[in-house]
Every structure is written in C-alpha cells, then in structure tokens.
Amino acid sequence: MKIGVISDTHGMLRPGVKDVFRGVDRILHCGDVGTLEILDALALIAPVSAAYGNTDRFDTRNKCPRVVRLDCDGRVTVVLHGDQFGMPTPTVLRNEFPDADIILFGHTHKPLIEQHDGGVTVLNPGAAGAVRCSCRPTVALVELADGVAPVARIVELDAAG
C-alpha cells in the first residue's frame, strides 16, 4: 500500500502534489486544510481522510475529526494536526497514542520521520502550502508491505508553484 501524506496546505494545493501522489492508494491530510476544495481536489487522486487543524474553519471541522484512526494495511494509523500538544514531539505522540503503529501529524511545518524500536513510525510531512518558517514546501510518501517496517520519505515540492 502506498500512502500520500500532506499537511498545512492552508488553502493552497501546489500543482506538483498531483505528480508526487500519482498512484497512491490513499491520501492522509494532517490538518490546516484551508478549504474543503483542497480535500475535493485530493479526492480526484485517491481516497482522502483528513483531520482538522487549528486554523481550519467550521466547515472543515464539521467534515473532519480532530483525530483520525484507521487501519492502513493492517497497521493502526493515527492522523492529527497536533496543535493540541503545543509543538508536538514524537515522544509526546507515542505516549498519547500507545496503540498506534503509525502516527502522522502536522502543525510544526517541519518535516520529520522517526522510527522507534523498528516499529512505530512518527511522521510529519512538513507544510505543502504557502512557505512559512523558512521551510521548503514538502509532502511525504509512505509504503507499507507485509513483514517490514513502513518506508517513508519526504518529497520537496517546487516553491514557486
């Protein structure tokens, strides 16, 4: 299973996202979506599940939960923005969601991949929307296969697009 992970679009969907996510089985959005049109555009690529973030309006909050829990290829996967934990860290998130195999979060705008004990993967895809915090726009891809730890990578998007 191949998953596209995106966060902090803040109403902006860069054209390169379609290319990076081509062929994914599912897209998971870690909040601060911006507008529901972003989720509609992503749904044209693959099925989407999204959590809302601290800047999302009521229409997004009414459609998306604060925390998404789902099964991705037999792995308990948690998707959240993370603002409820201040500036979340992998340790805080692992303690908060001890049953999760994969924890995906946003909010910090800084990409991060951490594997703990060869099992739990904590990932922040960075921010895919407008450039903030001197961070380049990024998304992530996660590949799941039986019997092996998830393989994740951060993909940089064109900052001009």
- Whether 139 is in a domain gets the answer yes
- Whether 144 is in a domain gets the answer yes
In three-state form (DSSP H/G/I as H, E/B as E, the rest C), the secondary structure along 45-97 is CCCEEECCCCCCCHHHHHHCCCEEEEEECCEEEEEECCHHHCCCCHHHHHHHC
Determine the pLDDT at residue 147: 86
- Whether 19 is in a domain gets the answer yes
Kindly list the distances between the CA atom of residue 82 and the CA atoms of 11, 32, 36, 107, 144, in Å, as whole numbers in the listed order. Answer: 19, 10, 20, 6, 23
- Whether 161 is in a domain gets the answer no
- Whether 34 is in a domain gets the answer yes
- Whether 148 is in a domain gets the answer yes
The tally of domains found in the chain comes to 1
- Whether 36 is in a domain gets the answer yes
* Token pair belonging to 27: 């897209």
pTM of the model: 0.96
Residue 152 contacts residue 12 (beta carbons within 8 Å): no
Would you write out the chain's pLDDT as a tens digit for each of its 161 residues? Answer: 999 999 999 999 999 999 999 999 999 999 999 999 999 999 999 999 999 999 999 999 999 999 999 999 999 999 999 999 999 999 999 999 999 999 999 999 999 999 887 667 999 999 999 777 778 999 999 999 998 889 999 999 987 65
Residue 49 contacts residue 69 (beta carbons within 8 Å): no
* Token pair belonging to 151: 């393989």
- Whether 103 is in a domain gets the answer yes
Distance of CA 151 to the CA centre of its chain: 15
> 21: Cβ–Cβ under 8 A, 6 or more apart, which residues?
4, 6, 27, 42, 45, 46, 139, 141
Look up the domain containing 22 and give its range: 2-156
Give the domain CATH number at 80: 3.60.21.10
